[in-house]
Structures are given as structure tokens and as C-alpha cells.
Amino acid sequence: MLGTLSDLDLRLIRVFLAVVDAGGVTVAQTTLNVGQSTISTQLSTLETRLGFRLCERGRGGFKLTEKGERFHALAKRLLAAVDEFSVEARNMDKKLVGTLKIGLIGHTPISQNARISDAIARFRTRDEAVRFSISVKSPGDLEAQLLNGEIQVAVGYFWHRVPTLEYTPLFVERQIAYCGRGHPLFSRAGRLTPEEVADMEWAWRSYPLPEAQRSTTPNRVTAQADNMEAVSLLILSGHHLGYLPEHFAAPYVAQGLLAALNPETLRYEVTFHMVTQHASQHSPIVAAFVEDLKHAHVSIAV
């Protein structure tokens, strides 16, 4: 059974993770730049050190054992900690050292992305050696990752509130109802009433939108999607009506592919929030970035 970790053990663990990421020994040859027999020998050596089999490999294909699955998760955490230690050790003279993981939802307005960029630029003027990691996920996934510590800061639209998280409003986004060029209402778009559009077929989001007043009845919602691209495809088909962020739809409107049904009455607004753990749990890195993000949003309510 593996006792004290050695440099050899760390090298073998990195080989194991590379094989798992590649999905097998054969594909991993290119990543590791060594032959298949060498990789197989290294995996066998690691298994001997551990005292159990990590994976099945051979003609039947590559598959982790039950213990291999558990060891894979542990190994990823170990190497992440080793990398974090290396960064901090190299930057002992810096005030802020580590990794900041940020989660965003897709298709944020360009002006708002610029503010996030401004916050990053301001953060980079600090006495820091921080590695940024930015991912794009759905709102539900972002909240789950905040709760389990996979990310520290999220920016997006969140339709409910998790009691253990802190939500700070950043900006408001306008959503407008549109139809595609092939839709029967296209020629009259711009002055349509809610009564005229209620009985048409609609594409709706697959997640709740409390801010939106229903423009139709549930039985007229004949398509659902969980992201902007999918909703836009349904509207562009000329068969469905639907809501899109005004900034997202603007290029299609300019090309004559979409038209707003009535931007004065068939619209709603959603507030985007910065979400973190409660301030009392902020690390110095998170606290500094939160300050910079608030500074970038000069209209923020604090």
C-alpha cells in the first residue's frame, strides 16, 4: 500500500490522469510522448504501489475500476493542491497568491463583459500572483459549484435564492418578444398587442422566469430550450414567438431576420447578480476581486 509520496509516485499519478483524460493507453501515447508499453508499465507500477487495480485495459477497452474511480477523484485533488502549493511557494513575496475561479452564464451583454474585464484589469494592479480560471455554465450549475467550492464568484441571472449564498445586483437586462421573418405576424411586428400574440405558438425557457408576465397560455408553448442560441433558432424558424435579450437579438434585427413584436408592452427585465459565499467566508483574493467588480459597476446598489 502506498505510504509516503515520492517524486516517482507523483509522476506515475500524472501518467494515470493523462490516460484517464485521453480515454485509454493508446490515445495517451501522443499526450505523454512515450510508447504504449512504457505507459502500461507505469500504470502497473502505480497499481503495485497502491495495492489495487486502477483500470481494465486491453482488447476489451479501457475502463476504471470502482477503486480507480475513487482514486481518480483523489488524484485530481492532490495534484491541484500540489500546483497551488508550487504557485504560492514561488510567490511568497506577494500579498495575494492562489487561484480565483469565476463562473459566468453565456451571452452577457458586451458592455457588461467589458466591466468584468475592467475588474480583472484593476485586480491585476494589486500585489498579486493569482491564476484566473473562468468557465461558462448554466445558473443552476453555477450555484451548485459555488456551494461545493468549485468556483468562488459567479455572475448571471438567478431565479431563486440559496440561503447560504450572497447575491449582489450588478445590472439589468431587457428581454423582448420577437418573431422570425417567416412568421405571419412579421409584417405587423412593432405594434402588436398581447391579445394578438397570445394564441400563437411560443418557444419558452426551460427554467423559471418570475419577472416575465406570461404572454400566452401553457398549452401554446410548443417548444422549450435552456439557452439563447436554441431559443433564437426556434424563433428564426418563423414558427414560434419568443423572448430574447435585446442585445443578443440586435444583429438578427439589423439583418431583417427578427422583429420585435412590441418593445413597449411585450418585454420584461431581469437583474444580473454577482453571487458568492457570504462575505464572512471570503478569502483575501475573493474579497479583493469582489471589491474590484463592484467598482467596475458604478451603478451597483450597495
Q: Residue 258: its pLDDT value, please?
A: 97
User: Which of 104, 72, 100, 99 has the alpha carbon at shortest distance from 85?
Assistant: 99
Same domain, 66 and 189: no
Q: Can you tell me the distance from the alpha carbon of 153 to that of 281, in angstroms, rounded to the nearest whole number?
A: 12
Range of the domain at 137: 96-164+276-296
Same domain, 121 and 201: no
Nine cell digits for residue 235: 424563433
Q: Residue 213: its pLDDT value, please?
A: 58
Q: Can you tell me the distance from the alpha carbon of 59 to that of 26, in angstroms, rounded to the nearest whole number?
A: 11
Residue 205 lies in a domain: yes
- The domain tally of the chain equals 3
Same domain, 53 and 200: no
Q: Residue 52: its pLDDT value, please?
A: 92
Same domain, 235 and 155: no
Tens digit of each residue's pLDDT, the chain (302 residues): 565 677 778 889 999 999 999 888 888 888 888 888 899 999 999 999 899 999 988 777 889 999 999 999 999 888 888 877 776 677 666 688 888 999 998 777 777 888 999 999 999 999 998 989 999 988 888 999 999 989 999 998 888 788 999 999 998 889 999 999 999 999 999 999 999 998 899 998 776 665 555 677 778 889 988 788 899 999 999 999 999 999 999 999 999 999 999 999 999 888 899 999 998 889 999 999 999 999 998 644 43
Residue 1 lies in a domain: no
Residue 241 lies in a domain: yes
Residue 28 lies in a domain: yes
Enclosing H/E stretch for 267: strand 267-277
Name all contacts of 105-108 with Cβ < 8 Å and 24+ positions apart.
Answer: 105/136, 105/137, 105/138, 105/139, 105/142, 105/155, 105/156, 105/157, 106/136, 106/227, 106/228, 107/228, 107/245, 107/248, 108/155, 108/156, 108/272
Q: Residue 299: its pLDDT value, please?
A: 45
Q: What CATH number did the domain enclosing 110 receive?
A: 3.40.190.10
User: Which of 183, 190, 178 has the alpha carbon at shortest distance from 228?
Assistant: 178
Residue 88 lies in a domain: no
Q: Residue 190: its pLDDT value, please?
A: 95
Determine the 3-state secondary structure of 276 from DSSP.
Answer: strand
Q: Can you tell me the distance from the alpha carbon of 275 to that of 158, in angstroms, rounded to the nearest whole number?
A: 9
Q: Which of 52, 80, 108 is the last residue of a domain?
A: 80
Same domain, 176 and 159: no
Same domain, 153 and 291: yes
Same domain, 217 and 260: yes
Q: Which of 50, 80, 110 is the last residue of a domain?
A: 80
Q: Residue 302: its pLDDT value, please?
A: 38
Q: Residue 209: its pLDDT value, please?
A: 64
Residue 111 lies in a domain: yes
Same domain, 105 and 34: no
Same domain, 142 and 285: yes
Q: Residue 219: its pLDDT value, please?
A: 80
pTM value?
0.64
